[in-house]
Amino acid sequence: MKRAAFLDRDGTLIEEKGYLNTPEQIRLKKGVVEGLKLLQQYGFYLFIVTNQSGTKRGWVSKDRVERINRELIRLLRSYKVFIKDTSVCFHHPNERCRCRKPQPFLIFRLLLKYPEIDVKKSVVVGDKDSDIKLALNVGAKGILVFPHTDFLDVARSIIKDSHGFDIPGN
């Protein structure tokens, strides 16, 4: 069974920009590349799991969101960080869909596609309460990050918790 890191996009992997609407606005947060490499090294599949209601609000098109996601994945790949897949909710919060975080369907969709994942040994990392509630709703561990959190520290904490030993800092 594999472990997974289900990662929020905005405010977790990249700088929060409100409703991001161009790939040129992507700015990786501190420690993201190093932290994701560490998680990969210790056997975690990496997934992006994100709410993108800006599409229903008319602020950004679905095609543009998908282009931004592809560019983020390409950028991370250039650093040898490999995102296994993405799961996106495009619904407005008032639609009460099954996939908008903290509802579990974004992750359930990935679990159907990747049955080798042990969700109980996996983590959800995000910057909002809905990310932590999502973790609870699927039986994973939730990790809340803050605006100035160094993602490498988050990854070290995940490794310590999942593997039982510290990863030394630089």
**pLDDT (tens digit per residue) in 18-73:** 778 888 989 999 999 999 999 999 999 999 999 998 777 877 888 888 999 999 99
* Residue 127 among the catalytic residues: no
Distance of alpha carbon 75 from alpha carbon 82, whole angstroms: 10
Helix pair 32-41, 62-78: axis angle to 10 deg: 70
Q: By percentage, how much of the chain surpasses pLDDT 90?
A: 78
Total of domains in the chain: 1
* Residue 10 among the catalytic residues: yes
- Catalytic entry in 10, 127, 131, 150: 10
Backbone φ and ψ for 143, nearest 5 degrees, come out as: -130, 120
- Tell me if 114 is assigned to some domain: yes
Query: So what's the pLDDT on residue 99?
Result: 92
- Chain mean pLDDT for the chain: 93
Domain housing 96? 3-163
Confidence band of 170 (pLDDT split at 50, 70, 90): low
Q: Using an 8 Å Cβ cutoff, are 142 and 135 in contact?
A: yes
- Tell me if 170 is assigned to some domain: no
- Tell me if 168 is assigned to some domain: no
- Tell me if 152 is assigned to some domain: yes
Query: So what's the pLDDT on residue 86?
Result: 97
Residue-wise pLDDT tens digits, 160-169: 998 787 776 6
State mean pLDDT over 116-132: 98
Task: Identify the CATH number of the domain in which residue 157 sits.
Answer: 3.40.50.1000
- Tell me if 122 is assigned to some domain: yes
pTM: 0.95
Query: So what's the pLDDT on residue 23?
Result: 87
Backbone φ and ψ for 67, nearest 5 degrees, come out as: -65, -40
